[in-house]
Amino acid sequence: MAYVRKLASGSWQVTVRNHVGDRFSETFPLQSQARQWGRDQETKLSRSAYSNPQAGKTKFDDWYERWWESRVVEPHTRRGDASCIRTHITPHWSGWEVGAIGRIDVQSWVAQAQAVLDELAQPWHTMALLAFYTGLRWGGLSGLHGHGIDWQRGRLFVVEVNTKSGIKDYPKRSKSRREVPIPERVLDGLARRMYGRDRNAVVFTTVTKGRAGRLLDDGNWRTYTWWPAVHQARFPEPNGACMRCSTSSGMRVIRRLSRTRTLPPMRTRPSSELGGGWILS
């Protein structure tokens, strides 16, 4: 039950407790406002929809530190994400209150990714879109085979990865394989890429004359394809979103922020290439 008391200032403070005993308080000029707020919070509690009303005031930096420490990932993934987030994400969002991050703020942040996409020719345009929408790591992206795509259901399975020593099965146990939904527009691009090719072929390979059909090398691809597109889009290299970092890691951060209930939940809408997948709605 909400507890209401009058403060020395003449204002009214109301306090509620959640199911684990945490207390949350708000202050209002009128007793009726305080009681109404208390009733509203109790209703949310009864529906298991309660969230900390102070959560929106949490600074991004504080929230990020807690989120980072709670992650359970492999060491090399942690190192890579730390570098990318430090370079591309924290400089932009540092100092923001979580509750102040709105739809238009996220849209403007990812606008640079759309500009880079516009500079990419096929099949790299489709490959970048696939990375943006699914968050696939480089190994899963460049090691994707045609047989790993369920064309009817619009899903892909990460069953092979591209490594420095060639294609390897992933994961070791079939029960833990990763299944990822593919937006319709990206599925169409994949279908065009695989048209007339063996279903067991690697989807994205080199296209340079005399070297076509080879497995992609991440360093070469970034040097000769990605960064030139970033520069053409007029973004300096340090701030140009590297494909995995600003998409996979960055959007994981924003999605987790949305779960604090201070932001509306995220969903994908195929209304535009990046705007559809990255709109907070």
pLDDT, one tens digit per residue, over 186-216 is 999 999 999 999 999 999 999 988 888 899 9
* Structural domain boundaries, residue 79: 60-258
DSSP 192-219: HHHTTS-TTSBSS---STTTTTPPP-HH
Cis peptide before 236 (omega within 30 of 0): no
Euclidean distance between CA atoms 257 and 155, whole angstroms: 26
Q: Are residues 29 and 122 in the same domain?
A: no
Say whether both 86 and 33 belong to one domain: no
277 in a domain, yes or no? no
Both 192 and 96 in one domain: the answer is: yes
On whether the CB atoms of residues 190 and 122 are closer than 8 A, the answer is no
Same domain for 127 and 20: no
pLDDT tens figures, 56-98: 678 888 888 888 888 777 787 788 788 778 877 888 888 888 7
- Averaged over 219-228, what is the pLDDT? 90
Q: Is residue 271 part of a domain?
A: no
Percent of the chain with pLDDT over 70: 75
> Does the pLDDT of residue 103 top 80, yes or no?
no
Examine the pLDDT at 22 and tell me if it is beyond 80: no
Are residues 43 and 90 located together in one domain of the fold?
A: no
Taking the model in full, what pTM does it have? 0.59
More confident of the two residues 146 and 105? 146
